[in-house]
């Protein structure tokens, strides 16, 4: 493979990794069920660093692991945990008992640390990765437990519905206006470049397919080279992603939830923080804060009957890396919000961050299954049987005792 192909392949693979965390290829879905309770699920794509969002500041070891990442102090929550300073706008929710967290949680996914597999396991609710993992999502299977599920709306940013909502129950789709295209000339150029190189062809075709699925406008003149074309494609993706703000998604979801919709799900990207985490987290946390504040404001009185569950595919390494970021890890955190949440507390079984307590010597040890907390909210909201939740919605899950997340 010559240098230009290697350079393009490297950029394409990096693009694929960032695409896993991109809001442009993740959807928003809405469904209606016979209940007055509202459930909102927000997928935080890219592997959110729970140790940065919810810091164990009371442990003196944290400063040694993360000297650059904790340079700015956060808002104290309970004398041990503190909230990232860029989420200070959520402190009124915490003080009102409408914001809580679960620490040291994960899906059953272990060791391989792939965004795509991790997200598939998170959204499918499965305890393994296999051919059947991508057939249906846990919200769709939960909907199948209701005797009368009315189709409302499934809103999709990108080509497909969230795996979270995929399955036998009917959904619809919607896309925001942000779109991206790859011109016919650029497509021909790419195909000519990779035609005789199978490895390069796979990566190049993935980029072409993604660009084709996303949208609309011509990107470049036909005489530009392949490296410039790739840079332009990525830049257009980023610009289009910024046009689709968390505030807009939350406002649209709230509008439907004030009416017949009872379950909404959408995703927020930008949580892959290998490099200069300070800047990346600031943007991602700003979007999360905006989504939660907007949901509360727009839902009005309905907020009191709402639970918002924010979850991610895996956490990050306990130690910051040499690029002032963190790498793919295991244990992470969940964010819970809403008037129906028993907030003002941190749930879970904290394992500590001393060297012997880390998972594989590098990650926060997961002490609970992230599915457990989602299952208990669904049981409390909709009266579903534990056996159905453990076998049909979240296969292989042991729900254990009630963590009492709801009022």
Tens of pLDDT, residues 337-386: 999 999 999 999 999 999 999 999 999 999 999 999 999 999 999 999 99
233 has a pLDDT exceeding 80: no
List, in sequence order, every residue forming a beta bridge with 55; answer none if it has no partner.
Answer: 82
> What token pair was written down for 125?
């609710």
The answer to whether residues 52 and 200 belong to one domain is no
Residue at which a domain ends, from 192, 216, 243 = 243
Q: What gap in Å lies between CA 343 and CA 340, rounded to an integer?
A: 9
Residue at which a domain ends, from 215, 243, 271 = 243
Q: What gap in Å lies between CA 284 and CA 40, rounded to an integer?
A: 18
Q: What mean pLDDT value characterizes the chain?
A: 81
Whether 225 maps to a domain, the answer reads yes
The answer to whether residues 191 and 50 belong to one domain is no
Q: What gap in Å lies between CA 84 and CA 75, rounded to an integer?
A: 7
The answer to whether residues 251 and 227 belong to one domain is no
pLDDT of residue 20: 54
The answer to whether residues 367 and 280 belong to one domain is yes
322 has a pLDDT exceeding 50: yes
Whether 403 maps to a domain, the answer reads no
The answer to whether residues 169 and 300 belong to one domain is yes
Higher-pLDDT residue of 402, 237: 402
The answer to whether residues 9 and 59 belong to one domain is no
Residue at which a domain ends, from 243, 258, 283 = 243
Whether 405 maps to a domain, the answer reads no
110 has a pLDDT exceeding 90: yes
Q: What gap in Å lies between CA 387 and CA 392, rounded to an integer?
A: 8
Higher-pLDDT residue of 380, 232: 380
Counting residues of the chain whose pLDDT is more than 90, the rounded percentage is: 59
Are residues 295 and 40 in contact, defined by beta-carbon separation less than 8 angstroms? Answer: yes
The answer to whether residues 238 and 343 belong to one domain is no
The answer to whether residues 167 and 205 belong to one domain is no
Higher-pLDDT residue of 97, 254: 97
- DSSP H or E stretch at residue 308: strand 306-312
pLDDT of residue 224: 42
Whether 166 maps to a domain, the answer reads yes
Range of the domain at 232: 1-27+181-243
Instruction: Using pLDDT thresholds of 50, 70 and 90, give the confidence band for residue 201.
Output: low
Tens of pLDDT, residues 23-59: 444 456 667 666 789 999 999 999 999 999 999 999 9
| HSE of 398, CA atoms in CB hemisphere, 13 A | 3
The answer to whether residues 107 and 201 belong to one domain is no
The answer to whether residues 379 and 257 belong to one domain is yes
Global confidence as pTM: 0.80
The answer to whether residues 89 and 132 belong to one domain is yes
The answer to whether residues 133 and 266 belong to one domain is yes
Whether 407 maps to a domain, the answer reads no
Q: Parallel, antiparallel, or unpaired for β 306-312 and 38-44? A: parallel
Whether 223 maps to a domain, the answer reads yes
Structurally, the chain folds into a number of domains equal to 2
Whether 404 maps to a domain, the answer reads no
Are residues 326 and 59 in contact, defined by beta-carbon separation less than 8 angstroms? Answer: no
* Greatest alpha-carbon span in the chain: 64
pLDDT of residue 167: 86
Q: Identify the CATH number of the domain in which residue 41 sits.
A: 3.40.720
Whether 289 maps to a domain, the answer reads yes
């Amino acid at each position: 493979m010559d240098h230009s192909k290697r350079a393009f392949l490297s950029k394409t693979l990096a693009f694929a990794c960032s695409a896993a965390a991109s809001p442009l290829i993740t959807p928003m879905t809405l469904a209606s069920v016979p209940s007055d309770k509202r459930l909102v699920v927000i997928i935080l794509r890219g592997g959110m660093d729970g140790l940065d969002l919810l810091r164990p500041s009371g442990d003196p070891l944290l400063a040694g692991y993360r000297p650059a990442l904790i340079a700015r102090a956060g808002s104290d929550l309970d004398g041990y945990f503190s909230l990232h300073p860029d989420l200070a706008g959520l402190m009124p929710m915490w003080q009102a008992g409408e914001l809580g967290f679960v620490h040291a949680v994960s899906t059953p996914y272990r060791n391989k640390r792939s965004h795509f597999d991790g997200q598939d396991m998170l959204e499918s609710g499965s305890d393994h990765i296999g051919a059947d993992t991508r057939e249906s999502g846990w919200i769709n299977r939960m909907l199948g437990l209701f005797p009368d599920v009315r189709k409302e709306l499934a809103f999709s940013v990108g080509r497909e519905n969230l795996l979270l909502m995929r399955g036998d129950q009917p959904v619809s789709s919607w896309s925001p206006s942000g779109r991206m295209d790859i011109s016919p000339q650029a497509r021909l150029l790419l195909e000519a470049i990779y035609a005789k190189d199978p490895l390069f062809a796979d990566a190049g075709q993935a980029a072409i397919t993604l660009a084709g699925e996303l949208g609309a406008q011509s990107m470049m003149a036909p005489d530009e080279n392949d490296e410039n074309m790739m840079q332009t494609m990525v830049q257009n993706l980023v610009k289009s992603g910024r046009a689709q703000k968390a505030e807009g998604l939350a406002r649209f979801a709230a509008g439907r939830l004030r009416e017949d919709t009872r379950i909404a799900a959408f995703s927020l990207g930008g949580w892959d923080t290998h490099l200069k985490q300070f800047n990346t987290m600031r943007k991602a946390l700003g979007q999360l804060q905006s989504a939660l504040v907007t949901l509360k404001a727009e839902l009005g009185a309905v907020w009191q009957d709402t639970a918002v569950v924010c979850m991610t595919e895996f956490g990050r390494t306990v130690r910051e890396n040499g690029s002032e970021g963190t790498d793919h890890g295991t244990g992470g955190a969940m964010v819970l919000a809403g008037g129906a949440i028993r907030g003002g507390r941190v749930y879970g079984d904290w394992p500590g961050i001393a060297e012997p307590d880390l998972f594989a010597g590098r990650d926060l040890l997961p002490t609970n299954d992230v599915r457990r907390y989602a299952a208990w909210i669904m049981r409390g909201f909709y009266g579903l049987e534990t056996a159905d939740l453990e076998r049909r919605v979240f296969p292989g899950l042991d729900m254990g005792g009630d963590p009492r997340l709801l009022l």
